[in-house]
Amino acid sequence: MTATLRPPASACPACAAAPAAEALAAQAAPTEAHIVLSLPTIHCAACMSSVERALNAFPGIRSARVNLTLKRVSIEAAPDLTAADVIPVVEGAGYEAHELDNSALSATATDKAGRDLLMRLAVAGFASMNVMLLSVAVWSGAEGPTRDLFHWISAAIVLPTVAFSGMPFFRNAWTALSARRLNMDVPISLAILLAVGTSLWETSLSGEHAYFDAAITLTFFLLTGRYLDHRTRSVARSAAEELAALEVPRAWRVTDDGEEQVSVSALAVGDLIRVRPGGRMPVDGEITQGTSELDRSLLTGETLPVFAEPGRTVSAGEVNLTGPLVVRASAVGRDSSLHRMADLVAVAESGRSRYTSLADRAAKLYAPGVHILSALAFLGWLAFTGDLRVALNIAAAVLIITCPCALGLAVPAVTTAASGRLFKRGLLIKDSTALERLAQVDTVVFDKTGTLTAGTPELTNLGDFSRRDLEIALALAEGSSHPLSQSLTAAARDAGIKPAAITNVMEIPGHGTQGTWHGEDVRLGRAAWVGAGPGIQTAAWLRVGDGPAQGFLFTDRLREGADTAVSALQAAGLKVILISGDTPLAVEALAGRLGITQWMAEALPQDKSARIEKLTQSGAHVLMVGDGLNDTAALTAAHASISPASALDAARVASDIVLLGGTLAPIPDAISTARKATRRIRENFTIATWYNVIAVPLAVAGLCSPLIAALAMSASSITVSLNALRLR
What b-and-e string marks burial along 244-255, b requiring 16 or more CB atoms within 10 Å of the CB?
Answer: bbbbbbbbbbbe
The dihedral over CA atoms of 452, 453, 454, 457, expressed in degrees to the nearest 10, equals -170
Rounded Cα gap, residues 330 and 340, in angstroms: 14
pLDDT at residue 598 in the model? 92
Which residues contact residue 338 at a Cβ distance below 8 angstroms, ignoring those fewer than 6 apart?
Answer: 243, 244, 246, 247, 298, 315, 316, 317
pLDDT at residue 109 in the model? 40
Marked catalytic residue, from 185, 447, 631, 656: 447
Alpha-carbon 278 to chain mean position = 27
* pLDDT averaged per 10 residues, the chain (length 728): 37 35 39 75 71 89 77 82 85 77 43 76 89 75 78 90 90 80 72 81 78 79 70 43 61 87 85 86 90 72 73 84 88 75 52 50 65 82 83 75 62 72 76 81 89 80 89 89 83 90 84 89 87 67 87 82 92 92 82 91 84 92 84 85 71 73 86 87 77 78 69 69 69
Nearest to 412 by CA among 727, 68, 119, 41: 727
Phi, psi of 626 (to 5 degrees): -155, 170
Other beta carbons within 10 angstroms of residue 554's beta carbon come to 23
Are 709 and 400 in contact by the 8 Å Cβ rule? The answer is yes
Region at 200 (left for phi over 0; alpha for psi -120 to 50; beta for the rest): alpha
Task: Give the global pTM.
Answer: 0.54
Are 466 and 517 in contact by the 8 Å Cβ rule? The answer is no
Domains annotated on the chain, with CATH: 33-100 (3.30.70.100), 113-235 (no CATH), 247-333 (2.70.150.10), 358-412+679-727 (no CATH), 427-452+559-660 (3.40.50.1000), 456-558 (3.40.1110.10)
User: Longest C-alpha distance within the chain, in Å?
Assistant: 114
The dihedral over CA atoms of 458, 464, 467, 471, expressed in degrees to the nearest 10, equals -40
Kind of pairing between the strands at 250-255 and 258-263: antiparallel
**β strands within 460-500, DSSP E:** none
Integer angstrom CA distances of residue 126 from 117, 120, 165, 240, 652: 14, 10, 11, 41, 38
pLDDT at residue 353 in the model? 44
**β strands within 52-114, DSSP E:** 61-67, 72-77, 98-99
Region at 312 (left for phi over 0; alpha for psi -120 to 50; beta for the rest): beta
pLDDT at residue 341 in the model? 61
Rounded Cα gap, residues 522 and 542, in angstroms: 7
Rounded Cα gap, residues 69 and 468, in angstroms: 45
Region at 602 (left for phi over 0; alpha for psi -120 to 50; beta for the rest): left
Rounded Cα gap, residues 528 and 319, in angstroms: 23
Kind of pairing between the strands at 292-295 and 306-308: antiparallel
Rounded Cα gap, residues 297 and 316, in angstroms: 12
Other beta carbons within 10 angstroms of residue 617's beta carbon come to 8
Q: What type of residue sits at position 269? A: V
Q: Is 80 a catalytic residue?
A: no
The single-letter DSSP state of residue 432 is T
Nearest to 191 by CA among 225, 160, 162, 164: 162
Nearest to 694 by CA among 679, 720, 714, 716: 716
Rounded Cα gap, residues 704 and 695, in angstroms: 9
Are 565 and 672 in contact by the 8 Å Cβ rule? The answer is no
Give the 3-state secondary structure percentages of the chain, helix then strand then coil, rounded to 5.
Answer: 55, 20, 30
The single-letter DSSP state of residue 628 is S
